[in-house]
Amino acid sequence: MSVQKILINGEWIESNSGETFESINPATEQSLGTFQKGNREDVKSAIDAAEDAFEKWSNFPAPKRGEILLKAYQLLKQNKQRLGELVTKEMGKVLPEGLGDVQEAIDMTAYMAAEGRRLFGHTTPSELPDKFCMTIRRPIGVVGLISPWNFPVAIPSWKIMPALICGNT
């Protein structure tokens, strides 16, 4: 069985250390595969890549970012069954819960894709004549995520999709 690589800067690569781990189905104790084990240097490489991509991504129009998220939505939807089964195999969840986890990500991705056309700020009345107050939403930069284990598809989507649509990397 081949070793699954890690994705950094759009490329599937081996981890810096070359260390691997085996993912085991908790219900059957069967191997689901061998995976690269990322380390601190790999995280640094991912952060550097996200920093390099930030200016271009954040200047890309929000509706166009929404179109890209819409493609992610379509891929999630097309692969729902396979992803739900994988969640079940990796975690021991019953299949309806694994599918529900993926459905949450599908729904969040669709919602955030549409938000690309609604990234408004706020205009507030001023106490001064001929003046108004306005806020504008701006991306802040690279966003990190530490996610709990129990909803491995849904919870990351709740954080990743809003960050991406707002122009963060």
Do 163 and 92 lie in one domain? The reply is yes
Which among 59, 78, 104 is the end of a domain? 59
Do 100 and 39 lie in one domain? The reply is no
Q: pLDDT at position 127, please? A: 83
Print the domain residue range for 37.
Answer: 1-59
The 10s digit of each residue's pLDDT in 64-96 is: 999 999 999 999 999 999 999 999 999 999 999
Do 159 and 84 lie in one domain? The reply is yes
Q: Name the 3-class secondary structure at 132.
A: strand
Do 29 and 97 lie in one domain? The reply is no
CATH code at position 149: 3.40.605.10
Do 70 and 146 lie in one domain? The reply is yes
Q: pLDDT at position 1, please? A: 65
Q: Which residues of the chain have pLDDT under 50?
A: none
Do 47 and 108 lie in one domain? The reply is no
Do 85 and 112 lie in one domain? The reply is yes
Q: pLDDT at position 128, please? A: 83
Which among 30, 59, 88 is the end of a domain? 59
Q: How far apart are CA 132 and CA 40, in angstroms?
A: 47
Do 34 and 74 lie in one domain? The reply is no
For a pLDDT cut of 90, what percent of the chain falls above it?
85
Q: pLDDT at position 49, please? A: 98
- For residue 2, the 8-state DSSP code is P
Do 19 and 67 lie in one domain? The reply is no
Kindly report the pTM of this predicted structure.
0.89
Give how many domains the chain has, as a whole number: 2
Do 30 and 78 lie in one domain? The reply is no
Do 53 and 77 lie in one domain? The reply is no
Sign of CA dihedral 20, 103, 73, 51: negative
Do 48 and 67 lie in one domain? The reply is no
Q: Which helix (H) or strand (E) element contains residue 122?
A: strand 122-125
Q: How far apart are CA 74 and CA 105, in angstroms?
A: 11
Burial class (CB in 10 A: 0-12, 13-18, 19+), 78: exposed
Q: pLDDT at position 37, please? A: 97
